[in-house]
Structure 1
């Protein structure tokens, strides 16, 4: 055996050991069995992307727009398009997410603000472009994965660019809506900022060191934290079997929500199973919707997932307002029209189709509760999570029409609930609380 071949064999052996450690769970004396982090809403004054010049009504309109972009984005990821259907002119580049998580990367640590996304796999951070956040050359613990590593193989043929054995693995994640993130598949030390601003060490993680992204970031946000069930997500790399979050109401803008991992996750209340056969997104079965004690007359199977991958009902933290496919949305609006005795008129934008004139006290006294009935769980919405004040004295239904077959349970309707994801039991749980802000 030549010296060169011996070197290659030893390098491959050591690299394989490190790679297996990197994409499988890594113990941490600091993180222990569980940890929690702060979630900062896009429109909170605590957010790095907070725009002080926007009014409350501007924020509502912007959130609706982000929701529409999010729906289009997720639909593109969950639908198989033929090449003839991928019209570049119709693609919409999604905006940054709704909730921001703070963590550090590297040695010495560099602080990163990234959006939390239960519908995404890869963790990635801006390493170049304008205003790079993380400079790998300045981290003594940084490393990249070569093309012949297990981590690179996990990406799949269509998402990596490789030439030679020892070349860096260059990832390129291109979504169906045309948005992309690309760069070097890397690994480095990660630590998350907990609610007390302490850093919780979780060891090395695989991530994308992005030198290009078409995602639109505002302020200091600079990456994404994928929480799907695929191999390169945070929960898969740390072998986290449970996580949960408790999102505060909009009137608590100066208070951060919380997210809990591992032993600190709260799995309680009603539980609904994940839809079988789906290993990426969190699809569940929505049986119906109730207004007061009356069921909304919905078409049978309206929220079912079709055999060709269309439709279904998804729990998503990155979508602001709940989306209901048109047939269900029309039935809900008709039922609310009949149940609510307040002056009605259309909202200030195309997204808000049902609005009522009056005070919040009028809503409290005259409007029955809306309940989402899942398989095994019921979620009774508060008035604050059912309606938004789109203009002074004008309260609009905080749900939007989906022009796709896909329906999504948005984060506004999840507020003031402990929403838990148990990956062992394959369920999503919902436990109502008086105020998520009390858990600060």
Structure 2
């Protein structure tokens, strides 16, 4: 079967971007560890993941990812609405067990290995320090220390999250979420080193982190913390003074290896660039102008993805959410337009979350479905069929995007796969470059 001209153009563009970025990475690998470093990202459903559950089928994993995504949306919405109505408590959001990509690092002296979720939607680093099976025992680290209640880092936690009785008490935090779940522990400091793709440890010095001695969330396997990458004071990028970072997530059939994250001088900022929304630094908000199917724009209400003056709505890029969420008005318009554009038998999926599915093989879908494109202010993201649809049942391909029952919309990590996604915090932009992430 021949390649149509649009597909041929996309393939050539994709290939040239990959060559350009490979050359860029090869030219910066000689940088010192102090200038930048890289780490491997392990998808939670990879056999290499500490949370891998061998008893789950591929379809079980798809359903579980949808469930986590819905929890994640509700979690982010509850936080954004809380923050928009208060001057306080806008930091130290310690994220529940719904992350997707795992980073390995070590804490303390001697070093203790930790597996933590990488999260652009969290502004703190935290590590499980006790409960039934402590991962990091601060009593065994000669370089460990904790903050007192009168310290500036303790103030960064925000009013209402500190449970200090006296100024010279240890800085103890307690966070209660909208669903009633809690996490608590001591704001601490210790030596950190990250494991690069060659499994070498890259020393980054001392970092502040939450040493959690209680969490009501249940953790499967050995994942034991979170690596926050927002722009708040206690995040990794803020503490290291990093102004650029990027990641490249492989397609699902390559989940065992290949995904990478790059910091500092090794970050890749390439391709189309869209500005970060100014004045909002707890999540990475951008401006989504529209969505197109083939050469037709989806008819969306004007300003549907804009944040309101009271902080409601908007469009977030989030690494910790699996599926893209579109607010109901936009979702209805998209599934109606896709239903008209794709000439295949249609029905709903096996769960309430999958509202538009097509029967047939992937080859049938690939031939029948036009390209789906997200149009940002200054950048366009053309989605591959593999990142637009998922096989929810054998021979049933469902749209890998879900309905948001809130005003908030989110670009999930499935739709970011096979793109180099770069964050430039100096220029305040996010960049997108289509590449084969398995080649890095």
Q: Give TM-score scaled by structure 1 length.
A: 0.89
Contact 1:66 1:94 in 2 (8 A): no
Deviations 1:325-356 (A, max 9, x none): 00000000010011101111111111111011
Instruction: For 1:32 and 1:300, locate their aligned partners in 2 and report how far apart those are by CA, in whole Å.
Output: 46
Larger Rg: 1
Instruction: For 2:249 and 2:228, locate their aligned partners in 1 and report how far apart those are by CA, in whole Å.
Output: 18
User: 1:387: Cα distance to partner?
Assistant: 0.4
Of 160-169 and 381-390, deviating more is 160-169
Q: Secondary structure of the residue that 2:331 maps to in structure 1?
A: helix
Deviations 1:61-80 (A, max 9, x none): 00000000000000011003
The match for 2:196 among 194, 208, 212 is: 194
> Which residues of 2 match residues 87-126 of structure 1 at below 5 A?
94-126=96-128
Contact 1:67 1:321 in 2 (8 A): yes
Instruction: For 2:166 and 2:402, locate their aligned partners in 1 and report how far apart those are by CA, in whole Å.
Output: 49
Which residue of 2 is the match for residue 429 of structure 1? 431
Which residue of 1 is the match for residue 19 of structure 2? none
1:33/1:272 CA distance change after superposition, 3 Å = same
Contact 1:36 1:261 in 2 (8 A): yes
Contact 2:84 2:311 in 1 (8 A): no
Which residue of 2 is the match for residue 141 of structure 1? 143
Gaps of 5+ in 2: 1-30, 86-94
User: 1:152: Cα distance to partner?
Assistant: 1.2
Which residue of 2 is the match for residue 88 of structure 1? none
RMSD over aligned CA atoms reads 1.6
1:82/1:416 CA distance change after superposition, 3 Å = closer
Instruction: For 2:180 and 2:267, locate their aligned partners in 1 and report how far apart those are by CA, in whole Å.
Output: 35
Are 1:438 and 2:435 matched, yes or no? no
Q: Secondary structure of the residue that 2:160 maps to in structure 1?
A: helix
User: 1:30: Cα distance to partner?
Assistant: 6.7
Contact 1:44 1:254 in 2 (8 A): yes
User: 1:148: Cα distance to partner?
Assistant: 1.6
Q: Give TM-score scaled by structure 2 length.
A: 0.89
Deviations 1:237-291 (A, max 9, x none): 0000000000000011221410000000000100000112201100000000000
Are 1:306 and 2:313 matched, yes or no? no
Contact 1:182 1:213 in 2 (8 A): yes
The match for 1:73 among 72, 75, 78 is: 75
Contact 2:71 2:98 in 1 (8 A): no
Which residue of 1 is the match for residue 7 of structure 2? none
Which residue of 2 is the match for residue 24 of structure 1? none
Instruction: For 1:220 and 1:209, locate their aligned partners in 2 and report how far apart those are by CA, in whole Å.
Output: 16
Which residue of 2 is the match for residue 49 of structure 1? 51
Which residue of 2 is the match for residue 165 of structure 1? 167
The match for 1:395 among 397, 401, 414 is: 397
Contact 2:270 2:422 in 1 (8 A): yes
Instruction: For 1:252 and 1:361, locate their aligned partners in 2 and report how far apart those are by CA, in whole Å.
Output: 19
Q: Secondary structure of the residue that 2:82 maps to in structure 1?
A: coil
> What count of residue pairs does the alignment treat as equivalent?
401
User: 1:167: Cα distance to partner?
Assistant: 1.7
Which residue of 1 is the match for residue 130 of structure 2? 128
Q: Secondary structure of the residue that 2:197 maps to in structure 1?
A: coil
Which residue of 2 is the match for residue 250 of structure 1? 252
Which residue of 2 is the match for residue 274 of structure 1? 276
Q: Secondary structure of the residue that 1:159 maps to in structure 2?
A: coil
The match for 1:238 among 237, 240, 264 is: 240
Instruction: For 1:348 and 1:164, locate their aligned partners in 2 and report how far apart those are by CA, in whole Å.
Output: 55
Instruction: For 1:63 and 1:281, locate their aligned partners in 2 and report how far apart those are by CA, in whole Å.
Output: 21
Which residue of 1 is the match for residue 8 of structure 2? none
Contact 2:105 2:195 in 1 (8 A): yes
Of 276-285 and 408-417, deviating more is 276-285
The match for 2:408 among 385, 406, 417 is: 406
User: 1:214: Cα distance to partner?
Assistant: 2.3
Instruction: For 2:125 and 2:223, locate their aligned partners in 1 and report how far apart those are by CA, in whole Å.
Output: 14
Of 297-306 and 148-157, deviating more is 148-157
Instruction: For 1:153 and 1:337, locate their aligned partners in 2 and report how far apart those are by CA, in whole Å.
Output: 52
Gaps of 5+ in 1: 1-28, 84-92
Instruction: For 2:438 and 2:84, locate their aligned partners in 1 and report how far apart those are by CA, in whole Å.
Output: 46
Which residue of 2 is the match for residue 369 of structure 1? 371
Which residue of 1 is the match for residue 24 of structure 2? none
Deviations 1:163-190 (A, max 9, x none): 3333211122333443332111110000
Contact 2:72 2:98 in 1 (8 A): no
User: 1:94: Cα distance to partner?
Assistant: 4.3
Are 1:378 and 2:380 matched, yes or no? yes
Q: Secondary structure of the residue that 1:79 maps to in structure 2?
A: helix
Contact 1:96 1:218 in 2 (8 A): no
